[in-house]
Chain A
Amino acid sequence: MMNSTDVTVRIDNLHVRRGGKVVLPGISLGVRRGLVTGLLGPSGSGKTTLMRAIVGVQILEAGEVSVLGRAAGAPELRRRVAYVTQAPSVYGDLTVRENLGYFARIVGAPAGRVEDAIATVNLGGHTDQVVRTLSGGERSRVSLATALLGQPELLVLDEPTVGLDPVLRRELWETFHLLASGGTTLLVSSHVMDEAERCDELVLMRDGRIVVVASPEALLRKTGARDLEQAFLALAEAS
């Protein structure tokens, strides 16, 4: 059983309704500290809604979500939790540096952190380019860099690697693990199976319910499948 110091996020019987439709019909989950937890499931399975609930921007119908020992969305968590939405939420009419500079002022990060964040997402060649003129993948990297500025304890990333070239994707996953080894908790959603292998722990969702929570190795062992794709299929068919 996990004790409370190992757990960054604790969700208890969470119900969420969006647009009159039940998206999360009562789920419970713990996300462990210092690990990269992958949130996997088809589009529409409730991944984004779950992430929004953890960050505290989602109106809940019932249930409890606690993050770092506080109710999700508590004012003091705004410094300790960073969230990257699927659509890059940065200013298209500012340059990369101007965007990051502004967000750095808000989180109170030292100026040097802007350059570090730009280097981490490999946008050094585009520092003074207006974001609107960047490609989709580059724009989502600006959005990701923003989340790295404040050195948060919990990073919630909604499909951060969509449309990125494989080399950069691998580098970013290395960064995620580096952050995790420093004690940061990461919750990363994806629908790409090769990314599932790179997670320490997997949460598989379907129709707003959690099908399984396990490490990739445990999942393969449990299902006897050759790879994670097969394991997920076996679990989805059984559920």
Chain B
Amino acid sequence: MSDVALGSRAGSVVEELRKLPAFFRRDLLVMWSYRLAFFTDWLNLLVQIVVFFFVSRLIDPAKIPSFGGERASYMQFVAIGIAVTSFMQISLGRVVSAIRTEQLQGTLEALLITPTAPTTIQLGSVLYELFYVPIRLFIFLGLSWVLFGVTFEVSGMLPAIGVLIVFVPFVWGIGVLSAAGVLTFRRGTGAVGVGATAFTISSGTYFPVGVLPAWLQPLAKINPITIALVAIRRALLGGAGWAEVTPTIVLLLPIALVSIAIGVVAFRAALRRERRRGTLGLY
């Protein structure tokens, strides 16, 4: 590729990246216009913490795995599980529904006739969540700490964030792949929800993977959510540092890249198919 072509390509990428804050601002303004839903989300979060706090009183701490030599309480165990999987579910839900929502509200074609790459539209449509959901996650953990004394290792925060950063592209890739399916078949958000729940249940969010049936345990262990969760729990409950979470990051990185590549290819193919069929605006 010539220098001119490379330069032009780099220029295009920069131009596309410059558009992303516009999506963020749009979604922030839209979300803020639904203030009640915004506050209800926080209320739900609080209720969830309260419920699991009382459930935790029924669970024998001896059955909870230990992290960094210290046995964790069920509340500590489940708080991280809920934080990470709600992060995944909200992000996944938004990626899947972003294009569908544009289609339903009639703005998809208006977006697609602007000189904006479909990938930018996809990424831009979830950018707000990519900021909001991690903030929500840390506030959730903070509330658990303040209200119910659920403590976490502060030293493990940055390594946990490191794992989360490589986990995000994996979720995005799965989401874009699902969005391609929804764009093609017009339905399927329900199936995506079932898939996400299956992933969550087998990931050790609410209970240790060790209590699953023996035949399911090998599958649960290769579930990327399980892999991420184990590392994040080690960091936040056992104080694991970068050296201990790096193998997980190295393992998750190619999974995330493959997930994104498959998702983007599938989404472009779905978009091309819709253009060919002339059904892009139909819902």
Decide whether A and B are members of one complex: no
| Chain A interfacial positions (CB closer than 8 Å to B) | none
| Chain B interfacial positions (CB closer than 8 Å to A) | none
